Amino acid sequence: MTFDFDQLFDRHHTGSTKWSRYPADVLPMWVADMDFAAPPVIVEALQQRLLHPLLGYSVAQDNLREAIVADLWNKYSWQVKPQELIFLPGVESGFNMALKALVQAQQNVVVQVPNYPPLRHAPGHWGLNKVELEFNAQADGTYATPLDALRESLKGGGALLLSNPHNPLGKVFDREELQAVADICAAQDAWIISDEIHAELCFDGRVHIPTASLSPEISKHTITLMSASKAYNIAGLKTSFMIIQDAALRERVNHARCGMVDSVNP
């Protein structure tokens, strides 16, 4: 199927966050919202759903869970069970829920910078101490995690807000570095809250490795957040999911909805 990426759409007066903030003569490039249409298969699925005129409260059906489980296996050889999925109206609510549920006031939350503003702001929502950890720039133009500094920052537990693949650097963690980061978190009894919303935007032969897929031990420390929103340009549909493979951890994080995080739209 071919797709016309050159077709222009006027998004003014559609409620677009991107195009509503500035005057009409400004070209907005400040947010990850692409200006080509959503894939026809998605638009067609929405149109098909709207043939049924009731849009009441909804829950994820088994076939949706099974489709996601199959997709994670096919793309990443990551074995996930249907009950390990928690559906959310966005990844921001997910990493904030995890911080609220898991991190104590005296512990640090590490954020590798530069980073997505909502990740940088999240610890402050809960009065938590944030440590912004800069990557080490390498001679070949890549960026490496300062492992000793990470270990020091996570003494006493806490959490790493991991952007994997990294936004905005475009860094795709190789297995060796990702394993080293995860091992430090596990050794310090720190949580890994892994925002993997850009997982399907890897190029040049690079391959995304879900953090929780490294080992059963690492999965017990990891909360993974994923969505189709970035790769398929459907952020406005407000649908995402959290993967927590440890049952007790899953219940603990899900409880942190606290009446504030609602269900996903139909």
Question: To the nearest whole number, what is the mean pLDDT of the chain?
Answer: 95
- On whether residue 194 sits in a domain, the answer given is yes
Q: Return phi, psi of residue 164, to 5°.
A: -140, 105
- On whether residue 104 sits in a domain, the answer given is yes
- On whether residue 225 sits in a domain, the answer given is yes
Q: What is the pLDDT of residue 24?
A: 85
Report the predicted TM-score, pTM, of the whole model to 2 decimal places: 0.95
Do the Cβ atoms of 177 and 209 come closer than 8 Å? no
Q: Which residues contact 60 (CB under 8 A, 6 or more apart)?
A: 85, 87, 264
**Residue 175 lies in domain:** 62-257
One-letter amino acid of 68: I
> How many percent of the chain have pLDDT more than 90?
88
Q: At 94, which CATH number?
A: 3.40.640.10
Q: Residues 159, 183, 189, CA angle at the centre, nearest 5°?
A: 45
For β-strands 136-137 and 129-134, DSSP reports them as unpaired
Other C-beta atoms closer than 10 Å to the C-beta of 36 total 13
- On whether residue 42 sits in a domain, the answer given is no
Q: Which residues contact 101 (CB under 8 A, 6 or more apart)?
A: 252, 253, 255, 256
- On whether residue 102 sits in a domain, the answer given is yes
Do the Cβ atoms of 223 and 206 come closer than 8 Å? no
Q: What is the pLDDT of residue 5?
A: 85
Q: Does 6 or 122 have the greater pLDDT score?
A: 122
Two tokens, residue 113:
């910078």
For β-strands 136-137 and 143-144, DSSP reports them as antiparallel
Mean pLDDT computed over 20-40: 90
- On whether residue 89 sits in a domain, the answer given is yes
Give strand pairing partners of 224: 194, 243
Mean pLDDT computed over 179-203: 97
- The total number of structural domains in the chain stands at 1
Which letter does DSSP use for residue 131 in this model? E
Q: Is the confidence at residue 62, as pLDDT, over 70?
A: yes
Cis peptide before 168 (omega within 30 of 0): yes
